[in-house]
A = this chain, B = another copy of it.
Amino acid sequence: MANPLTPDVLVDPVVLTRALVDIESVSRNEKAIADCVEEVLRKAPYLSVGRLGNTVMARTDLGREQRVVLAGHLDTVPINNNFPSTVVDDLIYGCGTSDMKSGAALALHLAATLPDPGYDITYLFYEAEEIESRYNGLALVAEAHPEWLRAEFAVLLEPTYGVVEAGCQGTLRALVRTHGRRAHTARAWRGVNAIHAAGEVLRRLQDYRPRTVTIDGCTYREGLNAVRIAGGVAGNVVPDECVVEVNMRFAPDRTEEQAFEHVREVFEGFELERTDSAPGALPGLTAAPAREFLAAVGSEPAAKLGWTDVARFAALGIPALNYGPGDPLLAHGPDEHVEIGKIRDGAATLHRWLAAPSF
């Protein structure tokens, strides 16, 4: 197959978005698109290129004082009668248009057209973001080539509809267990009902007032919720166990440990087992490249409440944020699309930031 990412295509981020969408790349099938991207990057004399699986890295080494990362994943969720792309008025429809080939197109467009940026730039086009964490290209790079991620600041081009979404909240799941003693319900007083005992767990959840925390101008709203409850042996048996699964979403000023300590305090007196957790990420908007970036965007940042790959950068001590032309509400849906104007705005903003002669 001839590489569709020709120089004519690379100079126009809108045309490039369509070209990337039209290379099918459902998770675990990213080889074709990664090959095309790698070939393009290797043609740029000012980039050095690396590859790990179907993740492609390219970087400038211009001796700038600061280095920034622009990152986007190449994979999509499964196609849903939305391949290849179509254009209706100023909208491009198709699988991955929003999440996140329009974002990846911005990075690839810059890589191909910006030989002399104000910061050194590391471009990362990675695989398998939409599936289990163990396949995630960014996670694999962090393990195999952590030096590829070294930078003062990172932008993930995930869909944010042109808004800067900074940091992310952490998430923690735990099981709260109550115990009792089985008995026939005809002689219930011989038993202890573990489901009744879970009433106090639910009461504490209902009474819980989550914190709202503002960091670097971003407001995070925490939450603590029961996401599952189960108990019962049979229709005539006083049950001896009840399990409540809770999910805490915590602002990035708490570590996972601190969040778990907090949950432990809430459920003091109950058996508690942490089942999984992922750290949040501080918005980190005080670093110089971040401030320059915000100035280029020209609008206030918002807090990212869900968990995203920016936490992988945060875990390495690198401030990171999400900024992309796609609409997150359209991601993964059958009518996924992206506004052509948002792609052009995004390209202009990133050019303003990275090509600026001011630094």
Contact = CB atoms under 8 A, between A and B. Distances in A.
A337 interface: no
Interface in A177-201: 184-189, 193, 195-199, 201
- Consensus secondary structure, chain A interface: mixed
A346 interface: no
A144 interface: no
A23 B187 CA distance: 34
B229 A198 contact: yes
A305 B232 CA distance: 21
Contacts of A184: 306
A188 B238 CA distance: 33
A229 B226 contact: no
Contacts of A244: 195
Interface residues of A, number: 46
A225 interface: yes
B202 A206 contact: no
Given A227-B235, A238-B227, A247-B235, A196 B185 contact: no
Q: How many copies does the complex hold?
A: 2
A203 interface: yes
A134 interface: no
Interface string A279-313: 00000000000000000000000000111000000
Given A173-B235, A228-B231, A239-B228, A247 B185 contact: yes
Contacts of A188: 210, 223, 225, 249
A239 B246 CA distance: 11
A195 B229 contact: yes
Contacts of A242: 229
A169 B186 contact: yes
A249 B185 contact: yes
A352 interface: no
Contacts of A229: 195, 198, 229-232, 242
Interface string A217-256: 0000101011111111111111100101101010000000
A227 B223 contact: no
A205 interface: yes
Contact of A205 (B193, B203, B232): B193
Nearest to A168: B186
Contact of A232 (B221, B223, B227): B227
A245 B249 contact: no
A249 B201 CA distance: 26
A290 B183 CA distance: 32
Given A202-B196, A203-B199, A228 B238 contact: no
Contacts of A201: 199
18 contacts: A169-B186, A171-B236, A186-B249, A186-B307, A188-B223, A193-B225, A193-B226, A195-B228, A196-B205, A196-B225, A196-B226, A198-B202, A199-B201, A202-B202, A203-B203, A225-B238, A227-B232, A227-B237
Given A196-B206, A203-B203, 13 more contacts: A185-B227, A186-B249, A186-B306, A187-B221, A193-B226, A195-B202, A195-B228, A199-B199, A227-B233, A227-B238, A229-B242, A232-B245, A236-B247
